[in-house]
Amino acid sequence: MIEQFLRERFFNPWHSLAQLHPDAGALWHEQRFGDQGLPALDVYEGAEKVMVQLEVPGVKTQDIDITAQDNTLVIKGERKLSEQKDDVTFLRQERQAGSFSRTITLPFRIDSERIKAKYAQGILQVEIERPEEVKPKKINIKVN
């Protein structure tokens, strides 16, 4: 009872000023980790390789699973949030925990020997080298 009183009287005045902004709602949904359980994905393409980038803050590398079959790359993982326990009092709870999965189909067959993955600052980067036969070939023209 007292706890609840204290919480309501003193520890609920966390007003996010940004939420008062008229565009806040739109930005909100655009950026959420788990609106559809999907972390933000970006793809970069070049002649030699393709880079896939996934925003997964707070995810441990041992909880990320990357698999490649034919021309499909699947990145699966689970975000475990240690603070999200039943006996904890939340004044605000927006971060989503749980599993996620993203599938990317590439225009070439993926060679599992030609994939590199790196995780830093909550961002996973998967670099996929294009196979030799699909790399554009440069033909030198001889001038006599």
The site for another protein (CB under 8 A) is made up of 6-7, 10-11, 13-19, 24, 27-28, 30-33, 40-51, 53, 55-60, 81, 83-84, 88-96, 119, 121-123, 125
Give the residue with the Cβ less far from another protein, 96 or 108: 96
Give the residue with the Cβ less far from another protein, 35 or 70: 35
Cα–Cα distance, 48 to 127 (Å, whole number): 10
- Joined together, the tokens standing for residue 41 give 């994905």
Give the residue with the Cβ less far from another protein, 28 or 69: 28
CB of 144 to another protein, least distance (A): 32
Residue 49, burial from CB neighbour count under 10 angstroms (0-12, 13-18, 19+): middle
Q: Are 68 and 112 in contact (CB under 8 A)?
A: yes
